[in-house]
Structure 1
Amino acid sequence: MADKPHRDLIAECSQIIYDGFIRYNNNFYRLTKRARRRFEQCDWQGHQQDIVDRVDLYEKSVCRIVLVLRHNLGPRVTDHPLWNGIRTYFGDRLNKVPDAGFIKTFFNSITRRIFGTVGIDPELEFVSSHFDEDIEMAKSLDLRRYPYWGSLERIFETILDDFSFGVPYTDLQANATRVANDIAQFIQAECHGSDDYLRFEFINSHFYQSARAYLVGRIIMQNDILPIVIAFRNEDGGIQVDAVLMSDKEVSIVFGYTRSYYFTNPNTVIGAVYFLHSIIPRKPIDELYTVLGRLRQGKTERYRIFTEHLYLTDEQFVFAPGDKGLVMIVFTLPSYDLVFKVIRDKFGYPKTLSRNEVIAKYKLVSKHDRAGRMIDTQEFLNLAFPVNRFSDDLLDELLREASQTVRIEGNKLLIKHVYIERRVRPLNLYIREVPKEEAELVILDYGQALKDLAQTNIFPGDLLLKNFGVTRHHRVIFYDYDEVLLITECNFRDIPETRDSEDELRADHWYYVAENDIFPEEFIKFLSLDKTLRDLFLEVHQDLLTPDYWRKIKGNHLAGKVSFVVPYHRPAHPLQKSQNRQK
């Protein structure tokens, strides 16, 4: 193949890449389409496996095409002028092609893998955003529209019937009435009863996540547009409405960066992204691509948007707020809501794991149900930033303690490997900065976060408050994954009785501790809290300090009992109940 005429070679390479994308995309849609059957058959374990398979699919597809091109091109596989020609030829054939950005991102992944590109090479990659084309695609999104003719019950009988499943509803009319009542109550409470509905619009595809299906839409009113998300559950009696979500906060959490990726098949992903952005405008575009399962496109958009912001400011990268990590160097740009995490060359005491083990922990989380309690972390390779944009102390530590990953080349700081995630306020700082009532609520939510993670077979390993953060919605999430374990890998033990007074005085353990042995009675040591917060935590979450609680959770997982934490109907803490009564 390498001996063919130049133009023929360009055409054949372009077709190999395009065909590779089509194969990937078809497999992506096949896995995504299967979510409906999983939901209808209550096959939750199968759905969990589909999550893993779909995350792995992109990398496997890119590697397959890279191997083919290396074999076919031989020594010309790194011929820069040849690839510049392939890029031009390839791009010319994608004008006005639906969701062409995904195809170009696939192309970029291949050239970056072949050349080991550091930073961006516009000769080999597609780098510009085609905003006008995106808007055109957004306009082509397939929506079902329902004008309002005076009865919410009748309109939602029609909507639920149009969006029916292979399993019947428990009671179509009762479910429609449930939706109508929830909407009316929300409008009465939040919109002063102004029920000037014009029409309801829904994306013509269900959204599946964990054990729930969702309809996603908006309410067009005379003077406003409101989001509406209807959640469905499937139990023995059939399909029924589980929740109607209409507030910005509720909908934002449902599409949050702490949950598993959705399975949905709209006619245009770009259109779905911009539709979601229209109803939850504070949610970044890059995050929405990721939430819909287009992880690589989400990464591409995140890097592009961040880079544009970086060059509009003169700020420097600085250490992120919070205690310094023993495993990661964590930094941020103060004006932008992201943190960057670089693995240290050597880990501080008492960390004993290896670099590869840390990377494996982060990969585990990326494929797991995050229960709304773990930040989605994106792995980037070979990034480049202006070296003068780093504060002196941060630059010194990166070069000194992450020399395997970071180096200076010309006026650029090259970072070989970095994790990027949303910035949240560390929990240990947050509770010192907020009023007593808010501190109490987040400490209780910290305990609930541990329980939510346990339901999805995750044990954080390191329970220190500094490893947890608080989102803008005041939810506690976990973000330090280097000691994450599956609950089923842990051995939850009672602390043995002391044999004599000498045992009681020993600074270390007087009993043998094997790998993955966990002693819940010791958890309270991790909570650097004042007496009020400590007593409140123990009042509500004392069960977390008992081995029996964790053994029961482990037993359920080993028995194949799948648990899910949905992004609504959060358990009310006693403090919240008390505050509600006072209101």
Structure 2
Amino acid sequence: MKLAEQIAAEILRGFDKHYRIFRDISSAAKDRFERADWAASREAGRTRIHFYDQRVREAVDLVSDRFPLATVEELIWPHVKQAYFQLLYEHRQPECAETFFNSVACRVLDRRYYRNEYIFWRPAISTEYLTGGEPDYRSFYDRGEGLRGALRDVVLSYELRGQWQDLERDLDRLERAVAEHFGGPWTSDVDFQIQVLSSLFYRNKAAYLCGRARNGYREYPFVVPILKDEQGAMFLDALLLSPQDIGRVFSLARAYCMVDMEVPAAFVQFVSSMLPRKPRSEIYTLVGLQKQGKTLFYRDMMLHLKHSSDCFTVAPGTKGMVMAVFTLPSFPYVFKVIRDWFPPPKDVDRAKVEDRYLLVKHHDRVGRMADSLEYSHVAFPLERFEPELLAELKSVASSMIRIEGDQLIVKHLYIEKRLVPLDLFLQKSDEQRTRAAIREYGNAIKELASANIFAGDLLLKNFGITRFGRVVFYDYDEIGYLTDFKFRRIPKARDYDDEMSADPWFSVGPHDVFPEQFPTFLFADPKQREIFMELHGDLMDPAFWIAAQDRCRRGEQADIFPYPENLRFSRRFE
């Protein structure tokens, strides 16, 4: 066997090992759900995130040790790429295997990103019509019992072990929800069928049944959450039919899902048909294939740059002391570069900032923290940077950029969905929208606390608001586990001099927090402060925070649903 073929075969063996382990832990989510082992579910989610980098490092070490010529002779890599391509002809995960090849090749070649002939810059293997040994989705029909019979067949097809609270009651509720949505009982055409993915989507304490109903010329995507009660009995909790409600389930502001997929491209294509506006990069990331999501996002970004002409500019909002943030107006994302130095009172360093972002990646984001894509050595066209932005990057982050010809190379950056900063939103909002946003702001703080997260810096500028009015936190340099902080009341002043002193008359530890100060510290506008105190006055009481800490220490996991409470059958059909 030629050297190039040997290297290619070794890299593919590394990928196959990765995907085998990835699939094993993902498929075991069904057993964890059946046993209601939520602690194991959380640990599996954290563990799986590291799998890809571990397998890449193993493959890099193996190739470097066994084939030292590959590390110094770059001209061999186009032949390795060709040999690898031939191995993927009948592969079930070719797109992910190509990305794995890129990761290994870039590290072996010391990340020479600009030599695209050495890597799969574009996909070489089509994933259209790619199927596995078993169907990726199953179809169910009206067997004479109408919609109810088809729905029963769907639910029972997953063969979940355990008792149901009352499946017939839940099927009644599904039929009622369908009738309410469509304004009357369901009428099936001759070609009526329900198609559902062969694996449930598992996340936190829920399993999500994802499918689409086809009836005549129409197609209706839907999601049904399956939950367990305190006794371990299962029940159907809701029927989600609108794109907005389904999109919330697939939001990257939450933990990634566990899904058993032999052919990930087929699952992604199915979900894409349910949410055609959601980029496929996000769907790959959602199912735990973050590196593939990053690959597709980067390709989408480069394609957008090729077909647009606007310039990168400083992102709107209050400038941060830790990050230099810029954006491209025509592209709905922000790019965040860690500054070389942090002005007082910031007491962090680069390593700590990176560690905080890693914490968020590993943690359950409960729909309240933006997911970040982390990249190294990204080449941007220099001519697309506004002079003001370029001057700022040179001033505060010069170690993170370099110019090579007509390109600006950013050595390390994070990319996130662009949101409207909450402070700017409130400046332009009427009373009704202000009230709704402040309610959401307080809810975000409380839901993060239930997940053992304290944002640290609660200033409005560190939160953003989505187009659907949901408030999300996105500034992580002071974030920490809620249980690491000490929530205190402000001691009473000893005398008049204490009251008038500019400095505190009591000791303050590095993790001490005084919630009584929140309204004054967070809201300069008296009306906004009044609304906050009315809606979320409990956040000013240390007792709220101490109780939340106690629940976290006991291992209690709050039920935070990615869909409105009023859609839950227990609320809707009491």
Q: Same fold (TM over 0.5)?
A: yes
**Cα distance, 1:150 vs. partner?**
6.3
Which residue in the other structure is 2:37 paired with? 43
Distance in 2 separating the partners of 1:32 and 1:153: 30
1:567 counterpart residue number: 562
Alignment partner of 1:268 out of 253, 263, 266 = 263
1:540-565, Cα deviation, whole Å (9 max, x unpaired): 21111111100011111112222242
1:525 is aligned to 2:523: no
Structure 1 residues 149-548: aligned runs within 5 Å: 151-188=146-183, 195=187, 198-235=192-229, 236-528=231-523, 530-548=525-543
- TM-score, normalization by structure 2: 0.94
Q: Which consecutive unaligned segments of at least 5 residues does structure 2 have?
A: 568-574
Per-residue Cα deviation, 1:45-99 (whole angstroms, up to 9, x for no partner): 1111101110011111111111122222336413201222211111122135222
1:144 — aligned with what?
138
Name the stretch that deviates more: 547-556 or 7-16.
7-16
5 Å matches for 1:83-122? 83-122=77-116
- Tell me the CA shift for residue 301 of structure 1: 0.2
Q: How far did residue 293 of structure 1 move?
A: 0.6
Instruction: Tell me, in whole angstroms, the C-alpha distance in 2 between the residues paired with 1:237 and 1:89.
Output: 51
TM-score by length of 1: 0.93
Q: Does 1:552 align with 2:547?
A: yes
Deviations along 1:361-382, one digit per CA (max 9) or x if unpaired, are 0000000000000111011011
The residue aligned with 1:12 is 6
Q: Distance between the aligned counterparts of 2:208 and 2:491, measured in 1?
A: 49
SS in 2 for 1:175: helix
Instruction: Check conservation: 1:217, 1:228, Cα contact below 8 A.
Output: yes
Q: Do structure 1's residue 23 and structure 2's residue 21 form an aligned pair?
A: no
Contact 1:491 1:516 in 2 (8 A): yes
8 Å contact 1:399–1:407 — kept in the other structure? Answer: no
- Poorly superposed stretches of 4+, deviation over 4 Å: 138-141, 192-197
The code of the aligned residue for 1:69 comes to: V
**Secondary structure of 1:214 counterpart:** strand
Distance between the aligned counterparts of 1:157 and 1:88, measured in 2? 49
C-alpha contact (below 8 Å) 1:424/1:471 kept by paired residues: yes
CA contact (8 A) 2:178 2:185 kept: no
Alpha-carbon distance in structure 1 between the residues aligned to 2:113 and 2:438: 41
CA distance in 1, matches of 2:146, 2:129: 34
Query: C-alpha distance in 1, partners of 2:554/2:244?
Result: 36
CA distance in 1, matches of 2:106, 2:300: 19
Letter in 2 for 1:434: S
Taking a change above 3 Å as real, the CA distance of residues 77 and 90 of structure 1, as seen in their structure-2 partners, is same
Structure 1 residue ranges without an equivalent (≥5): 1-6, 573-583
Residue from 128, 134, 137 that aligns with 1:135: 128
Shift, 1:514, TM fit: 1.1
Change (3 A) 1:164 1:171: farther
Q: Distance in 2 between matches of 1:146 and 1:315?
A: 49
Matched, 1:68 2:52: no
Q: What is the count of residue pairs matched by the alignment?
A: 563
| Alignment partners' CA distance in 1, 2:186 and 2:175 | 15
Summarize the Cα distance change of 1:123–1:400 in structure 2 as closer, same or farther, 3 Å threshold: same
Compute the RMSD of aligned alpha carbons.
2.0
Encode CA deviations 1:465-485: one digit per residue, 9 max, x unaligned.
110001122100001111101
- How far did 1:508 drift? 2.4
Give the partner amino acid of 1:453.
L
AA of the residue aligned to 1:257: L
Distance change >3 Å, CA 411–CA 240, structure 1 → 2: same
Partner SS, residue 243 of structure 1: coil
- Percent of aligned pairs sharing the same letter: 34
Q: Distance in 1 between matches of 2:131 and 2:544?
A: 48
The residue number in structure 2 matching 1:4 is none
| CA contact 1:118–1:383 (8 Å) conserved in 2 | no
Cα deviation per residue 1:521-550 (whole Å; 9 max; x = unaligned)?
Answer: 111134235333322221121111111100
Aligned-residue offset at 1:395: 0.7
Q: Distance in 2 between matches of 1:96 and 1:333?
A: 40
Q: In the superposition, relative to structure 1, how do residues 448 and 224 fare at CA in structure 2: closer, same or farther (>3 Å)?
A: same
| Residues 1:53 and 2:42 are matched in the alignment | no
Write out per-residue CA displacement over residues 298-337 of structure 1, whole angstroms, 9 at most, x where no aligned residue: 0000000011011111111001111111100111110011
Q: Distance in 1 between matches of 2:290 and 2:131?
A: 19
1:24-50 Cα offsets, whole Å, 9 max, x none, are 111101110111111111111111110
1:153 is displaced (CA, Å) by 2.1
Letter in 1 for 2:58: R
**TM superposition shift of 1:216:** 0.1
Determine the C-alpha separation between the residues in 1 that align with 2:553 and 2:348. 26
Task: Give the Cα–Cα distance (whole angstroms) in 1 for the partners of residues 330 and 187 of structure 2.
Answer: 39
Contact 1:118 1:382 in 2 (8 A): no
* 1:384 aligned counterpart, secondary structure: strand
User: Counterparts of 1:398 and 1:551 in 2: how far apart (Å)?
Assistant: 42
1:575 aligned partner: none
Contact 1:255 1:291 in 2 (8 A): yes
Aligned partners of 2:18 and 2:52 also within 8 Å = yes
**Alpha-carbon separation, structure 1, partners of 2:117 and 2:454:** 46
Q: Any conservation in 2 of the 1:521–1:545 contact (CA below 8 Å)?
A: yes
CA contact (8 A) 1:331 1:340 kept: yes
Whole-angstrom CA distance in 1 between matches of 2:357 and 2:232: 39
The range that moved more, 267-276 or 413-422, is: 267-276
Report if the CA contact (8 A) 2:147-2:186 is conserved.
no
Q: CA deviation at 1:237?
A: 4.9
The range that moved more, 303-312 or 69-78, is: 69-78
Q: Which residue of 2 aligns with 1:80?
A: 74
Residue 194 of structure 1: how far off its partner (Å): 7.3
Structure 1 residue 224 displacement after superposition:
2.4
